[in-house]
A and B are shown apart, each in its own frame.
Chain A
Amino acid sequence: MSSENTFHYALSSNNAWAGYKAHQNPQFFPKLAGGQSPEILWIGCSDSRCPETTILGMQPGDVFVHRNIANIVSPTDINTTAVIEYAVAHLKVKHVVLCGHSACGGAAAALSDARVGGVLDTWLLPLKTVRFNHAEELDAITDDKERTIRIAQLNVEAGIRVLMNNATIREAIAERGLEVHGVFFDIGCGRIKELGCGTAHKSSHAGHDHVVRGKHGQLVFGQDGEAEIAAAQ
């Protein structure tokens, strides 16, 4: 598709999407216009292959979003901080999700010794710091792809530490049980997995399967954090 075509495609596709949504549910847009009350704040990478609402299978109104280069959470970055403040203190989201991903260009740049140029080296400094702090572990990984994956995961862990020290987030955890999760999106298979950092631990359901019954089926949460749908009995 030529670039001019992509542009017109996006606009005409929006037209079709709006028509479809309104046809499916005439209240969809009036309800959206009434306000937002998302339960999730998503902090992810700008990478075009990580469209959060799509990969989460969610709808407009569900996820409040900040996306930047290499999903870096820098304590003094006023852009990210304003997003966190608004989402946590004012919208009162229930989950903060920090998501890294495989094949991340920012992670690859941090592993290289070349300067990227412009403002990017400064922005990527926290990631570079992760690299130097874990030099031994990273150097021991022989496969380039695997090393990029590992540094991206360590970057999420570092970001989670910054989030957990954020004053607004700390208050929300103490006052209303806000949860903070570090997750990783594998572009190679489309799946998200938890990295086991932040406030949430899979152990909350440890020892027994947790079953939520519905009218037509039931959702079984296994001990490993995986969930399955079973037919109603």
Chain B
Amino acid sequence: MFSIRLGLSPLLHSSKQASSALPRLALHRTTTTPLRLAISTANTTPRRFCSSHSSTSEKDRKDITMYLQETHDKVFENNKSWAAEQVAKDPDFFKKLSSGQNPEYLWIGCSDSRIPAEQITGLQPGDAFVHRNIANLVCNTDLNVMSVIEYAVKHLKVKHIVVCGHYGCGGVKAAMTPKDLGLMNPWLRNIRDVYRLHEKELDAIPDEEARYERLVELNVYEQCRNVVKTAALQQSYAENGFPVIHGWVFNFRDGLLKDLNVDFQTILKDIQKIYNLTD
């Protein structure tokens, strides 16, 4: 992989030139919207193209096409070395993997590129069943996440369900931006609902950053509750004593996971007063 990056360096050079020739306006337009700011403030690398169709010259176009081909091919090269590495360590690695999965975990996390579940936990392929969506939400009417939970609990019989959020979540910030986000409105509305549920506590936090961090934690907490509301979870727990629920938050600043120590038993008891689906 390292060699590939080296191999790309001449291209990076040319792309830098290309991007400087492109209109800066286009770049600014993408970085000054509140949403974009909420997601990324610093990480704009020179090799990213920000161009608009109308003003891209033929040469820039060619550079972009070449650049896209190479960023794409890089992935296949990386994958090849990764596969070879696994076989070198254990010749039967993929044979064992093909025979089936028996994961202990269901991981429900954010789509954010900085939180690859397996890498940050050191779990191996086969250890964790994974669902990732915007802001790690578990919504009752979302058949996508509900299918994941049902399959993981009833069919794979996972022992732990982890809802993992992260500080600096662009989805959580976007949800609190007073702006119509079109197609994303129905999804992000759920986060505003979390705010409303904990309005008093959140309003009492004067520092805006601290308030967002707390909202991230409370969002994880509420999504854990939503998992507990499912029939699959309640029935499996009554029958087998598992799975149990955990709420974690990932912190980019030090790369560490924080366990929110969600009190599963108490939540279950509370939930079942109204949402009992075990009978």
A10-B122, A17-B119, A190-B86 known; A32 vs B78 contact (CB < 8 Å)? no
Q: How large is the interface on B (under 10, 10 to 19, 20 to 34, 35 or more residues)?
A: 35 or more
Chain B interface mostly? helix
Quick one: which of A6, A124, A205 contacts B69, CB cutoff 8 A?
Answer: A205
| Chain A residue contacts of B11, Cβ below 8 A | 212
- What's the minimum C-beta distance from B239 to chain A, rounded to whole angstroms? 15
A3-B242, A10-B121, A219-B4 known; A214 vs B82 contact (CB < 8 Å)? no
Q: Is A190 in contact with B82, judged by CB distance below 8 angstroms?
A: yes
Bound together, the chains give a CA A13 to CA B257 distance in angstroms of: 10
| Chain B residue contacts of A207, Cβ below 8 A | none
Q: Is B132 in contact with A187, judged by CB distance below 8 angstroms?
A: no
Q: Is A227 in contact with B119, judged by CB distance below 8 angstroms?
A: no
Q: Is A123 in contact with B113, judged by CB distance below 8 angstroms?
A: no
Q: Is B187 in contact with A79, judged by CB distance below 8 angstroms?
A: yes
| Chain B residue contacts of A227, Cβ below 8 A | 73, 76-77
Q: Is B79 in contact with A57, judged by CB distance below 8 angstroms?
A: yes
Q: Is A29 in contact with B253, judged by CB distance below 8 angstroms?
A: yes
A17-B119, A48-B130, A105-B151 known; A60 vs B113 contact (CB < 8 Å)? yes
Chain A interface mostly? mixed
Residue of B nearest to A62 (CB): B113
Q: Across the A-B interface, how many residue pairs have beta carbons closer than 8 Å?
A: 340
Quick one: which of B9, B79, B174 contacts A56, CB cutoff 8 A?
Answer: B79
A37-B48, A46-B130, A187-B97 known; A219 vs B3 contact (CB < 8 Å)? yes
Q: Is B39 in contact with A90, judged by CB distance below 8 angstroms?
A: yes
What does the 1/0 interface line of A109-120 toward B look like (CB < 8 Å)? 000000011111
Interface residues of B (CB under 8 A from A): 1, 3-4, 6-11, 30, 35-36, 39-45, 48-53, 61, 64-65, 68-73, 75-83, 86-87, 93-95, 97-98, 100-101, 103-105, 111-123, 125-134, 139, 142-148, 150-152, 154-155, 159-160, 168, 170-171, 174, 182-184, 186-188, 231-232, 242, 246, 252-257, 259
In the complex, 16 of the A-B residue pairs with CB atoms within 8 angstroms, ordered by the A residue number, are A6-B105, A13-B122, A14-B122, A18-B120, A37-B43, A48-B128, A58-B75, A82-B186, A85-B184, A91-B40, A179-B68, A187-B97, A190-B93, A204-B69, A216-B6, A229-B77
